[in-house]
């Protein structure tokens, strides 16, 4: 039991840090993919039967996830790593201007759920009508609240490391 805990601590202590970084809002698509690829490279160095099995499972999940592969290809285009779109596996109906919108695309379900909760308020089924002027005002209020919360979170992060 003690050996298993030591194995877990020494090889998987990077996971909580990576998860926290992935859940942070506003990270670039390329940063999120880099975090996952960093974990993947760390797991590829695991030894022993348990380590090899865990690495195989991660590689299987990442390889089967076609959406992740598409995100990786879009990220390569956005960062300038790849210029020829024809060489990459990207949906045909995705235009160059559409790909620009993927710069801050969420790759975790936590970020996607946050987005849905913002839209849920506007697209509520019991809403009878929503004039464009009121929609604009509602979005401004939501954006102001979102950015106020983001600034407050950054202030809390900075204050967490201050020495008294």
Query: What are the tens digits of pLDDT across the range 97-155?
Result: 888 888 888 887 766 666 667 677 677 777 677 777 777 787 778 777 766 766 666 55
What is the residue extent of each domain of the chain?
2-106
Report d(CA 62, CA 59) in Å as an integer: 5
pTM recorded for the entire structure: 0.66
Residue 39: count of CB within 10 angstroms of its CB: 19
DSSP 32: H
Residue 32: count of CB within 10 angstroms of its CB: 22
Average pLDDT (85-91) is: 77
């Amino acid at each position: 039991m003690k050996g298993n805990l030591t194995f877990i601590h020494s090889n998987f202590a990077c996971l909580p840090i990576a998860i926290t970084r992935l859940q942070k809002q506003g990270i670039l698509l390329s940063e999120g993919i880099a975090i996952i690829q960093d974990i993947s490279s760390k797991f590829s160095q695991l030894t022993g039967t348990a380590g090899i099995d865990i690495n195989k499972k991660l590689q299987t999940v990442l390889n089967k996830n076609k959406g992740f592969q598409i995100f990786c290809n879009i990220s390569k285009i956005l960062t300038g790593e790849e210029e020829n779109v024809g060489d990459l596996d990207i949906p045909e109906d995705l235009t160059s201007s559409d790909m620009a919108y993927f710069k801050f695309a969420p790759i975790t379900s936590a970020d996607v759920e946050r987005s849905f909760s913002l839209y849920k308020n506007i697209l509520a089924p019991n809403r009878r009508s929503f004039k464009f002027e009121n929609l604009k005002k509602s979005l401004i209020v939501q954006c102001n609240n979102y950015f106020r919360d983001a600034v407050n979170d950054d202030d809390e992060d900075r204050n967490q490391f201050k020495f008294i």
